[in-house]
């Protein structure tokens, strides 16, 4: 089960529209108040996280991710937040969040793609059609922007921000927040920065404090499964690309920076095969989507990487012994 730091959900509750019952959001998050916990925050399931977001924005609150992003502060993220603002340069700060994001949430990953024209902080994972995931991606890049601005203590304007999901009725507020063009319906969720921004010095750069914080993060990273098994990494890579079709072993191996032979051997060490892991991911996503009685079966087929509904039905019956429609009826009682 993927998890998210309770501090993130608490902050989201504080910025939710007042018309949304506060107690309802607290109940979803499984907390009693919005006051942050002392010590290491607890972890909340990703399902509760997405459900809270969906309830908070149910009435079309398209500014929710921007209010959340504007409200975050480094202390919210504990050692990770402080490690970012004390890094030598902005690039160092970004690389720290890429390495240690697991300590606050294992629902996503980042990478940094640098070219001559600039740099893109790309959000990996969370590519499903669930609305809560899509809004969570907006929240993540909005929060990333705030933390990076806090790190350098100066205005930081994005050269471009892209999201994979559809645009809200207006993107004016998004453009104002990120300080640059925002494109929805894109091929990736990413925050693009000018190349010159990466070398910017952080305002609180401190080598001694950074070393201490990084040691803490290494400990937390190990405790929370920083060295994820290759099976988990393959699952994440497959889920990240299903909307574009089922990825081949070569593509996944490349994403994980290993050869196909190495990938095959490491999966075998876990008594798993690439086909088995891929099928498990597709089945998990299909079952999640089928729980929504209003979602067409053809759409479920698309989001699980099938060319058509009939192929999806045959595969689902092979995996489960029943049809998608029968499975849905069993889940929903209708």
Residue ranges of domains in the chain, CATH in brackets = 62-222 (no CATH), 230-332 (1.10.10.60)
In this prediction, residue 140 carries a pLDDT of 95
In this prediction, residue 227 carries a pLDDT of 47
Grouped pLDDT means (10 residues each) for the chain, 334 residues: 84 95 94 78 87 93 96 85 88 89 79 89 82 94 93 89 94 96 94 93 82 78 60 79 82 78 83 90 85 84 88 92 89 68
In this prediction, residue 268 carries a pLDDT of 86
In this prediction, residue 104 carries a pLDDT of 77
In this prediction, residue 154 carries a pLDDT of 76
Predicted model pTM = 0.69
Half-sphere exposure of 22 (CA within 13 A, CB side): 8
Residues 97-155: pLDDT tens digits?
888 887 778 777 888 999 888 899 999 877 778 899 999 999 999 999 999 998 888 78
Closest CA to 280 of 310, 324, 316, 321: 316
Q: Which helix (H) or strand (E) holds 279?
A: helix 274-290
């Amino acid at each position: 089960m993927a998890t998210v730091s309770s501090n993130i959900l608490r902050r989201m509750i504080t910025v939710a529209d007042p018309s949304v019952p506060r107690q309802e959001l607290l109940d979803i998050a499984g907390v009693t108040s919005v006051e942050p916990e002392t010590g290491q925050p607890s972890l909340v399931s990703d399902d509760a996280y997405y459900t809270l977001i969906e309830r908070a924005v149910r009435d079309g609150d398209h500014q929710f991710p921007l209010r959340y992003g504007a409200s975050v502060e480094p202390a919210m993220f504990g050692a990770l937040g402080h490690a970012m603002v004390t890094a030598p340069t902005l690039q160092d700060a970004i690389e720290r969040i890429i390495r240690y994001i697991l300590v606050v949430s294992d629902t996503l990953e980042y990478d940094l793609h640098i070219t001559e024209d600039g740099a893109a902080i790309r959000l990996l994972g969370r590519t499903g059609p669930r609305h809560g995931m899509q809004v969570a991606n907006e929240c993540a890049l909005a929060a990333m922007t705030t933390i990076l601005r806090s790190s350098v203590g100066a205005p930081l304007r994005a050269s471009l921000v892209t999201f994979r999901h559809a645009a809200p009725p207006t993107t004016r507020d998004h453009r104002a927040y990120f300080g640059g063009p925002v494109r929805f319906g894109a091929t990736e969720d990413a925050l693009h920065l000018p190349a010159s921004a990466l070398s910017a010095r952080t305002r609180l750069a401190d080598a001694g404090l950074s070393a201490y914080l990084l040691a803490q993060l290494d400990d937390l990273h190990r405790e929370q499964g920083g060295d994820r098994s290759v099976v988990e990494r393959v699952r994440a890579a497959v889920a990240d690309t299903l909307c574009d079709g089922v990825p081949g072993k070569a593509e996944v191996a490349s994403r994980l920076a290993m050869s196909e032979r190495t990938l095959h051997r490491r999966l075998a060490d876990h008594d798993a095969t690439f086909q088995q892991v891929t099928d498990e991911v597709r089945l998990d996503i299909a079952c999640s989507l089928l729980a929504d009685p209003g979602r067409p079966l053809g759409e479920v087929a698309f989001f699980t990487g099938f060319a058509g509904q009939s192929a999806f039905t045959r595969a689902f019956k092979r995996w489960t012994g029943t049809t998608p429609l029968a499975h849905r009826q069993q889940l929903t009682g209708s």
